[in-house]
Amino acid sequence: MRFSRALNVVDAHAEGESGKVVVGGVGKVPGQSLFEKMRYFEEHHDQLRKLLLQEPRGAMWHNANIVLPSNDPRADMGYVILESTEYPVMSGSNTMCVATVLLETGMLPMTEPVTHLTLESPAGLIRVECECADGKVRQVKLVNQPAFVYHHFADLDVDGLGRVTVDIAYGGMTFVFADAESLGFKLDVSEEAALCELGQRLKRAAVRQLDVSHPENPLIPGITNTVFTGPLHHERDEDGTELIRSRNATVVSPGRIDRSPCGTGTSARLAVLHAKGLLQPGQLFRHESLIGSRFDARIESTTTVGPYDAVVPSISGRAWITSFNQLVLDPTDPFQHGFVVGRPWEPEL
Ligand SMILES: O=C(O)C1NCC[C@@H]1O
């Protein structure tokens, strides 16, 4: 049997969110930076994303990452992130999957109790600190590129709902933030379908009514996700550490719940909370997903991005390898580039 493509894929998840890690079979990719390599896939080779993420090999809730060498002498490795409808320049859950796979498969050397990595994402360099024991990565802490707020307390006219006040913020992806309680949500998993439907409606309204453009790179995608935020709870950890805990439901395109608390959404939420005076640098913020998994986050420092005040977020979470998979493409397979069926794959916007 001759195959037209064979990819070595390590399947993983971070706090419940899928992240396939392609470790072999892609070959040479043009471009100096990982951003340029990402653009190459986007413009000339999008069939690889579709092959990995669409049916019959993928599912709407899958993400994938292509591990590639970085040309930056400071970086240990690079990666391009592939999602259902876009190429985000950064992703928290995917970065945790990539770091865990690189260390647990021996692609990069693991040092116990802590391994420091620098990974080049399309958004830039990401510093990663992995707690390791007995050959296992127990916790991945990543320091994201700066997050900032585009619009505070913006009024949106939403079809069938009227006026809703939202914030729009960037944390590697761009999010609409809306208060869950005032929209009638308890943030229970039973509300999944309604959250996805309204999340898409809010996102569509925001794209039409509010301008966003990343000041350092206008090619970074605009608003593609909605975060429904729960109330803030001021608590103490089992070991007495003070923290602020909050639940969220992140609706990523094309309209499905992020199973993890969403690392880029958490980064953007830190920027929103800081701008509102509700979170200070160094304070522990524990973000919970709709399935109850969690990321611990902090504002490491403050900075600016173009005209915006910004925060440098760190996000910690855990990832696990679930399978080793050799994905092949038979040249007689009629579905060379994958396919999609029905809801929620409606045309975007
Ligand atoms: O953790 C994150 O940032 C994300 N999880 C899937 C969609 C986003 O990239």
Query: Which tens digit of pLDDT belongs to each residue from 59-79?
Result: 999 999 999 999 999 999 999
Say yes or no: CB of residue 263 within 6 Å of ligand 1.
Answer: yes
Q: Has residue 347 got a pLDDT over 70?
A: no
**Three-state DSSP class for 190?**
helix
Closest CA to 259 of 230, 221, 288: 288
339 CB neighbour count, 10 Å cutoff:
12
Q: Does residue 319 line the site of ligand 1, with CB under 6 A? A: no
Residue positions annotated with a catalytic role: 91, 262
Q: How many residues does the chain have?
A: 349
Strands (E), the chain: 5-14, 17-18, 20-24, 64-68, 77-82, 114-121, 124-133, 136-143, 147-158, 162-170, 174-179, 223-229, 233-236, 242-252, 256-257, 284-288, 294-305, 308-317, 319-329
Distance 171 CA to ligand 1 centre (A): 10
ipTM of model: 0.99
- Residue 348's pLDDT is 57
Whole-number Å distance between alpha carbons of 310 and 321: 34
CA–CA separation, 131 and 94 (whole Å): 17
Q: Flag whether pLDDT at 286 surpasses 80.
A: yes
Q: How far apart are CA 122 and CA 262, in angstroms?
A: 18
Q: Write out the CATH class of domain 5-140+321-329.
A: alpha beta
Looking at this protein, which amino acid is placed at residue 125?
L
Determine the Cα–Cα distance for residues 187 and 289; give it in Å rounded to an integer. Answer: 9
DSSP letter at 182 equals G
Nearest residue (by CA) to ligand 1, atom 8, is 91
Atom of ligand 1 nearest to the CA of 267: 3
Q: Is the CB of 92 under 6 A from ligand 1?
A: yes
Do residues 243 and 236 touch, judged by C-beta distance below 8 A?
yes
pLDDT at 337: 87
Query: What's the whole-number mean pLDDT along residues 82-108?
Result: 98
Q: Is 342 helix (H, G, I), strand (E, B) or coil?
A: coil
Sorted by where each begins, the domain ranges of the chain are 5-140+321-329, 147-317
Question: Is 280 in a helix, a strand, or coil?
Answer: coil
pLDDT in tens, 14-46: 999 999 999 999 999 999 999 999 999 999 999
Ligand 1 close to Cβ of residue 140 (< 6 A): no
Q: What is the mean pLDDT of residues 2-9?
A: 95
Q: Which of 91, 98, 143, 175 to mutate to test the pocket of ligand 1 (most atoms within 8 A of CB)?
A: 91
Answer whether CATH 3.10.310.10 is correct for domain 147-317. Answer: yes
Q: Is 222 in the pocket of ligand 1 (CB under 6 A)?
A: no
Say yes or no: CB of residue 174 within 6 Å of ligand 1: no
The pLDDT assigned to 177 comes to 98
231-285 tens-digit pLDDT: 999 999 989 999 999 999 999 999 999 999 999 999 999 999 999 999 999 999 9
Average model confidence (pLDDT) across the chain: 97
Q: Do 147-317 and 5-140+321-329 fall under one CATH topology?
A: yes
- For the segment 169-201, what is each residue's pLDDT rounded down to a tens digit? 999 999 999 999 999 999 999 999 999 999 999
103-143 pLDDT tens trace: 999 999 999 999 999 999 999 999 999 999 999 999 999 99
Q: Which atom of ligand 1 is nearest to the CA of 172?
A: 3
- 331-340 pLDDT, tens digit per residue, is 999 998 899 9
Per-residue pLDDT, 349 = 47
pLDDT for the residue 154: 98
